[in-house]
Structures are given as structure tokens and as C-alpha cells.
Chains A and B, each alone.
Chain A
């Protein structure tokens, strides 16, 4: 009887991830496999074809967009790529980068870091103790279900519109995926490994470091990845809603003053930041989870 109820939240926590044991753990193993496969196959596509794969569609899209917007009757709201590029260079390669972009990034990373520390710390505590977990799980389920943007108005009342408000919003939004994934990861520590560690007298901090955090790390990383995407969204929202500086504020300002190419330049910069941060995260994840990928690949017999 108790079994379905104990498994059910398991599915929930990992629901923030990719799928309860059905899907591949995260997307990267699949991708890694694809890459190695294409490298090893005798008839693998040459460098030229691969370049074509990467560049063809983006070129086509930009080309078509350019052709449409360059016509005399084109909409005022869609400037040509050339106009956007020049606005981009003028705007962000100036002191605005230090006034608007860097503080935004600082808040983003601060909030994300705080959320990571709280999420992993609390997650380990909850994951290790079933009683505490059972007590506070319904409360967490509720808090997690609150869409974080609704807290922006509240935080403004509590903390004003300064940095601490934005950081609080980011922390509150990001902490849930990290927390829940950590709980699941810690809970799912292989009991054989756990007993082995106990037999060898491994306990305390060492046990935490070499057993618990290590075996939970794939899940923790999955939670962190989701949280990072959320952090960017929340950073922008908190700045758009009420602020006097920052990237989100700047973009809204451009939109209200109908500085259309500048607005597009801001949107492009946001896209670039999102892309760079997620690439960076993938790099870090690859290093942290290298052992795990290797293990999985070995298990699959590759």
C-alpha cells in the first residue's frame, strides 16, 4: 500500500528532469553517443557536409528574413539584420555593457549560486531523513507550484526595487528544481553501495562527498540546468517589472520609446546570453559527469 505513495513523489521529482527511468538520463548521453557514432562510422559525413548541416538553415532563415525586411513596404517593427547588427554594436560595445549587462549577469549568478547552495544543502538533509521529508514534502509541493513571477510584486513591497528583491525572486524560483532533484538523487543512492560504504566505516563528510553527492550528481546537475534557464527568465522579468537599470529594463525602455533596432539588439543579446550560459553549463556538466557518461556508455557496451 505504501509503495505507490513512496514511488509517486519519486516520479515527481524526476519529472523536473527528463523522465522516471524511462528516458535517457538527460539529453547529453544521447548527444555524446551521436557524436561518437558519427566520428566512428566509416561513411561519416565529411567536414564540408557537416559545415553545410550547421550553416545551411540559419543562412536560409536570415536570408529570407533579410529579403522580406529590406523591401520598401516592410513593417516598421522588423528592421533589417544590418540595422540590428549596427544597433547591437553601438549599444553593447559601449559603457552600457557595464551599466546594464554586467549588473544583470551579477544578479543572475548570485541568485543562482545562493539557490544552488540552499537547494543542494536542504536537499541532502531531506533526502537522508524520511521523516523530515514526509513532514515537509506537502509544503514544498505547494511552494514549488507557485509560479515564481507572481512573487515579483510581493518582493517589491517587501524589499523595494533594489538588487536584493531581484536576487530573492531568482533564488525563490530556482531553488525548487535543485532541491527536488537533489532529494530524489540522494534518496536513490544504490543501497548496495551505501551498505558497502558502511562496512568500510566510511561516514560523515567523507560519506557525503564520495557516496551521497557523487551518486546524486546526475540528478543535481539536471536540476541545476533547469534552474539556470529559470534564473534567466526571472532576471529579465524582475527587471522588466520594476527597475531602473539592467538588461530587461533597457529592452522595455527601447520598446516604449519605439527604438526598434535597439530593442531587437537587446533581444538578440538576451538570446546570446541564454545560449552562452547553457553552453557553458553543458561544458561544466560534461566535466562533472564525465565518469557517469563513461559508466553508462560502458554499460551499454559501446
Chain B
């Protein structure tokens, strides 16, 4: 971006306007304009009858419903259930992926035996496990966990494998010649190399995990946001369905921001993050 600014424009004496505006649009202002525009459209379209109001309640109605619900305990309970399944599943997947990924990544001979199995299991959609989860665990939290862990594990595991494989051979040999033991090498050489990959996997898994946590509640009916939405839909409470969708959107944004903040914090030593701050 800065490069675009500094580079002289060949054949032009004055920098063209688009180049300037491309470098520095007023992002907060334009962004708020976008949001306001969407809200206005959502409010006006149903009121004018452009879309049927029965199915598209205006945004004021949806937000009022959301605000009312947000003062009740069941609302937060449902969110708590969803987040609990999400967080626990993600944690299990993360721990398992790190353990197995480091163990297998460090022993290429063993890893060679697992590649075919991993390549086959990975693309299996985790929702295929839903019937099995229902039979084994019913509407228990373990059904949710099964789905979340299965989906998140592969995302993180693959990233860990790439990270472990990406270790700089010179760094590795240097560490060896300084007499670092196996554990010390993992701690000081392999782990920092893997960490950026791991965080990427975690970020992807956090989003997917939320999808599956809610899916499990929608389809299996274990308590949580998904079950609440099903109830609202079956009761014909259209505004409430929208309110829940807005709530999950907000939840998703919060999780995204949280994971990104965590990533920047954990990787603040890494050039990709340091570079951003330095400029």
C-alpha cells in the first residue's frame, strides 16, 4: 500500500486520484456508512412493502426482540451452552492435534504410515457423524463435542504437521551442535516455527467449531442457541428467529476478533506481526 504511494507514476506528473484514494480511504467513516445503509434498507424495505413484512420484519422490531430477550436468563443460558460445547471441543481438538502432530511430525517413519488414513478421514464431513452421535450419546453434550472435535482436529492437525515440517534445517543443526537435547529443541526450535501455523489452524477451527456446535443443537436438539432457533421457528416467531441470527452473528464477530487478538499477542515476536506494528 505504501509502496503504491511512493512509486512515481510513469508518464504522469501528478499522482492520479484513484491511487491516492486507494491508499487512504476514510475506513471508519465509510464502514459506518455501510452499516447505516444496510440498517436503513432493512428498516425501510419491509415498511414500504418491497418485501413481505411477515417474513422480513423491519430491523427495529428484530433488535427490540433481541434486546428484550437479552434481559432474560434462558437467552444467556443458551449462549452459555453453545459456547461451552464450542470451547471444550476446541480445547480437546487443540490438545490432541498438538500432541499427535508433534509426535508424528518428529518421526517421519511413523508419519508415512498414517498419511493415507489421514487423507481419507480428513475430507469426511463431520456431520456424517450426527446419527452415530445421536445413537451413542443422545442430546448429551458429548454429541456436540464429538462433532466439534472431529471437525476442528483435522484443521489444526494439518497445520501442525506443516509447521513441524517447516523447521529451518540450519536452526535445527545449530541447536544440535550447541548440545540442545530433544525436549529443548522442541521448545526452542520446533515450537516457535510451528506456532504461526498452529494459530492459523486455531483461527479456522474456531469458526468451524462454532458452526458445528450450533449445528449439533439444531439437528440433535441438545440445549443451546440451535435448539432455541428451532423452537422459535416452529412457533412461527419470525422476529425472534432473526434476533437469534443477529445474536449468532455478533457472537461470531466477537470470536473472530478474540482469536485474532490472541494470535497477534502470541505471535507478537513474529515478523508478520512485528512488521505491521513497525510501519
Q: A residues engaging B (CB < 8 A)?
A: 2-8, 11-12, 15-16, 18-24, 27, 30, 45, 52-58, 61, 77, 130-131, 134-139, 141-154, 156-158, 191, 195, 199, 229, 232-233, 236-237, 240-241, 248, 251-252, 254-255, 260, 263, 266-267, 270-271, 274-275, 277-279
Contact A4:B233 (CB < 8 A) given known A30-B165, A149-B211: no
Q: In the complex, given contacts A134-B27, A248-B127, A271-B124, what are 13 additional A-B residue pairs having Cβ atoms less than 8 angstroms apart?
A: A7-B276, A12-B256, A15-B200, A27-B162, A30-B165, A139-B38, A146-B248, A146-B249, A147-B215, A150-B214, A157-B233, A240-B130, A274-B128
- Let me know if B22 and A156 touch, CB within 8 A: no
Contact A267:B132 (CB < 8 A) given known A11-B260, A236-B127: yes
Task: Tell yes or no: B225 within 8 A of A by CB.
Answer: yes
Within 8 A of A (CB), among B23-41: 23-27, 30-35, 37-38
Task: Tell yes or no: B129 within 8 A of A by CB.
Answer: yes
Q: Which residue of B lies closest to A130 (CB)?
A: B22
Task: Tell yes or no: B71 within 8 A of A by CB.
Answer: no
- Let me know if A55 and B159 touch, CB within 8 A: no
Q: Whole-angstrom distance between the alpha carbons of A147 and B252 in the complex?
A: 7
- Let me know if A23 and B196 touch, CB within 8 A: yes
- Shortest distance from the beta carbon of A144 to any chain B beta carbon, whole Å: 8
Q: Which residue of B lies closest to A195 (CB)?
A: B10
- Let me know if A58 and B249 touch, CB within 8 A: no
Q: Whole-angstrom distance between the alpha carbons of A200 and B38 in the complex?
A: 40
Q: Whole-angstrom distance between the alpha carbons of A135 and B32 in the complex?
A: 7
Interface size of B in residues (CB-CB distance below 8 Å): 88
A-B contact pairs, 10 of them (CB 8 A): A2-B24, A4-B276, A16-B204, A53-B116, A57-B117, A145-B251, A149-B215, A240-B219, A270-B128, A275-B120
Q: Whole-angstrom distance between the alpha carbons of A65 and B199 in the complex?
A: 34
Q: Whole-angstrom distance between the alpha carbons of A6 and B22 in the complex?
A: 11
- Digit string of B92-120 for contact with A (CB within 8 Å is 1, else 0)? 00000000000000000000111111001
Contact A150:B260 (CB < 8 A) given known A191-B4, A236-B128, A254-B131: no
Q: List 8 A-B pairs, minimum CB-CB distance, nearest first.
A: A145-B252, A153-B233, A255-B131, A278-B123, A270-B128, A271-B124, A19-B200, A134-B30
- Let me know if B123 and A275 touch, CB within 8 A: yes
Task: Tell yes or no: B134 within 8 A of A by CB.
Answer: yes
Q: B residues engaging A (CB < 8 A)?
A: 1-4, 7, 10-11, 21-27, 30-35, 37-38, 55, 112-117, 120, 122-132, 134-136, 158-159, 162-163, 165-166, 196-197, 200, 203-204, 207, 210-211, 214-215, 218-219, 225-226, 229-230, 232-233, 236, 238, 241-242, 244-245, 248-253, 255-256, 260, 270, 272, 276-277, 279
- Let me know if B1 and A6 touch, CB within 8 A: yes
Q: Whole-angstrom distance between the alpha carbons of A11 and B207 in the complex?
A: 15
- Let me know if B7 and A23 touch, CB within 8 A: no
Point out the residues of chain A lying under 8 angstroms from B30, CB to CB. Answer: 131, 134-135
- Shortest distance from the beta carbon of A59 to any chain B beta carbon, whole Å: 10
Q: Whole-angstrom distance between the alpha carbons of A271 and B120 in the complex?
A: 8
Q: Whole-angstrom distance between the alpha carbons of A61 and B250 in the complex?
A: 42
Point out the residues of chain B lying under 8 angstroms from A157, CB to CB. Answer: 55, 233, 236, 238, 241
Q: Which residue of B lies closest to A55 (CB)?
A: B116
Point out the residues of chain A lying under 8 angstroms from B256, CB to CB. Answer: 12, 141, 145
- Let me know if B10 and A199 touch, CB within 8 A: yes
Q: Whole-angstrom distance between the alpha carbons of A274 and B120 in the complex?
A: 9
- Let me know if B276 and A8 touch, CB within 8 A: yes
Q: Whole-angstrom distance between the alpha carbons of A134 and B120 in the complex?
A: 41
- Shortest distance from the beta carbon of A133 to any chain B beta carbon, whole Å: 8
B218 in complex: contacting residue of A4, A149, A266, CB < 8 Å: A149
- Shortest distance from the beta carbon of B258 to any chain A beta carbon, whole Å: 12
